[in-house]
Homo-oligomer: A and B are copies of this chain.
């Protein structure tokens, strides 16, 4: 099938584009290169060296014999061009990654908050409206987040896949209703994914769009079977306080001898998934569109871990100490987490576990590229709310090459 990958130059988008191309699909990457622009703004780079998008697709053509088209387009700002593109390409499916995706970045300044809301809401709404107005019945798969649910909200009940059955008291006794799981976003970024959900629900119901929303856990890992085929295809590895995700940050910190930065007690339990499984999940979602006028929701996670346990695991493996820093987020100090992910398992996902991939990640990526680390970018600095305690720099000396 012909798939548009919106945001196909980013951390999840690029390996998805390659995976789908490798599986025989006809892929067009659409991206405004905003993730690269934010690197410039933050004065930081991916630990892994990222080649220009033109070189990336050219190299992919050389090693695979398959073409990926690239269109530079800003979905939030170039609606008319996007409508023209849709009419021209008439894709069978669309994967939507075209959003600002870092919670700390979304909280770092008034400008970043406003950019995150404006960009993400407009991108999603432009996409939905463009599908309605062109009448193109493409199956839409969107990358959401587990963060829409919040943590510890439902007691001992596992977090369901999107919809929660509740009992509503009435004068005639309790009635059962299946509702979109109540939203408990922890940042402006997470808030935009909640807003997305409601836009999906409306457009699926009113206009019969076929939409799948993937509530993804924290991604770790870097490479997929496609991105390792040439160093110029390597995926991003973000380690900075804004875009780095917790486990990748621990691995990079260990590689350069920086204390492992745990915000708060580390008692937070979170859901994880390897980037290799992300790309498989997206393919599964594309192959299994919803049959009703309600968005289908998958929880895109494979295992759960307590943050302090991850830090201890990496510390034990590498001998680097753990540093507890103030927590900028308004969240419980500790929580249990039990998440349903039955649908992807039933559809054939075979998870990559931490024990499979951690050692490889540590040596192949964090160790190999540690000379590229800028130590001043390691500590998270976003001020999430007025008056919050902030972390001081943890000064480290970079090890020699």
Binding site for B on A (CB under 8 A): 79, 110, 113-114, 117-118, 121-122, 125-126, 129-130, 132-133, 135, 153-157, 164-172, 174-175, 177, 179-180, 182-183, 185, 188, 191, 194-195, 198-199, 201-202, 205-207, 330, 384-386
Please measure, in the bound complex, the distance between the C-alpha atom of A386 and the C-alpha atom of B384, giving whole angstroms: 43
A191→B199 contact, CB < 8 A: yes
User: How many identical subunits does the complex contain?
Assistant: 2
A126→B155 contact, CB < 8 A: no
B121→A195 contact, CB < 8 A: yes
When distances are taken between beta carbons in the complex, the residues of chain B under 8 Å from A183 are: 180, 198, 201
Nearest residue in B to A133 (C-beta to C-beta)? B110
B206→A202 contact, CB < 8 A: no
Q: A110-B129, A110-B132, A118-B125 are in contact. List 16 more A-B contacts (CB 8 A).
A: A110-B133, A114-B126, A117-B122, A117-B199, A121-B121, A132-B386, A154-B175, A154-B177, A155-B168, A156-B172, A165-B169, A180-B182, A183-B198, A185-B198, A191-B202, A205-B330
Nearest residue in B to A157 (C-beta to C-beta)? B170
When distances are taken between beta carbons in the complex, the residues of chain B under 8 Å from A113 are: 125, 129
Nearest residue in B to A172 (C-beta to C-beta)? B156
When distances are taken between beta carbons in the complex, the residues of chain B under 8 Å from A185 are: 198, 202
Please measure, in the bound complex, the distance between the C-alpha atom of A352 and the C-alpha atom of B74, giving whole angstroms: 51
Please measure, in the bound complex, the distance between the C-alpha atom of A262 and the C-alpha atom of B314, giving whole angstroms: 68
A118→B114 contact, CB < 8 A: no
When distances are taken between beta carbons in the complex, the residues of chain B under 8 Å from A205 are: 330
Nearest residue in B to A79 (C-beta to C-beta)? B114
A–B Cβ pairs within 8 angstroms, 28 of them: A110-B130, A110-B133, A113-B125, A117-B125, A118-B121, A121-B195, A153-B177, A154-B168, A154-B170, A156-B171, A157-B169, A157-B170, A157-B175, A166-B166, A166-B167, A166-B168, A166-B177, A166-B179, A167-B167, A180-B183, A183-B201, A185-B198, A185-B202, A191-B199, A195-B195, A198-B198, A205-B330, A206-B385
How near does chain B come to A158, taking the closest CB pair, in angstroms?
A: 9
When distances are taken between beta carbons in the complex, the residues of chain B under 8 Å from A179 are: 166, 179, 182
Q: Which of B130, B164, B198, B384 contacts A191 (CB 8 A)?
A: B198
Please measure, in the bound complex, the distance between the C-alpha atom of A170 and the C-alpha atom of B152, giving whole angstroms: 12
Nearest residue in B to A183 (C-beta to C-beta)? B198
Please measure, in the bound complex, the distance between the C-alpha atom of A156 and the C-alpha atom of B114, giving whole angstroms: 41
Please measure, in the bound complex, the distance between the C-alpha atom of A121 and the C-alpha atom of B199, giving whole angstroms: 12
B191→A330 contact, CB < 8 A: no
Nearest residue in B to A171 (C-beta to C-beta)? B156
When distances are taken between beta carbons in the complex, the residues of chain B under 8 Å from A207 are: 385-386
Please measure, in the bound complex, the distance between the C-alpha atom of A170 and the C-alpha atom of B129, giving whole angstroms: 38
Q: Which 3 pairs of residues, A with B, have the shortest CB-CB distance?
A: A157-B170, A166-B166, A167-B167
When distances are taken between beta carbons in the complex, the residues of chain B under 8 Å from A168 are: 154-155, 157, 164, 166
When distances are taken between beta carbons in the complex, the residues of chain B under 8 Å from A201 are: 183
How near does chain B come to A171, taking the closest CB pair, in angstroms?
A: 5
Please measure, in the bound complex, the distance between the C-alpha atom of A79 and the C-alpha atom of B115, giving whole angstroms: 12
When distances are taken between beta carbons in the complex, the residues of chain B under 8 Å from A110 are: 129-130, 132-133
When distances are taken between beta carbons in the complex, the residues of chain B under 8 Å from A114 are: 79, 122, 125-126, 129
B172→A155 contact, CB < 8 A: yes
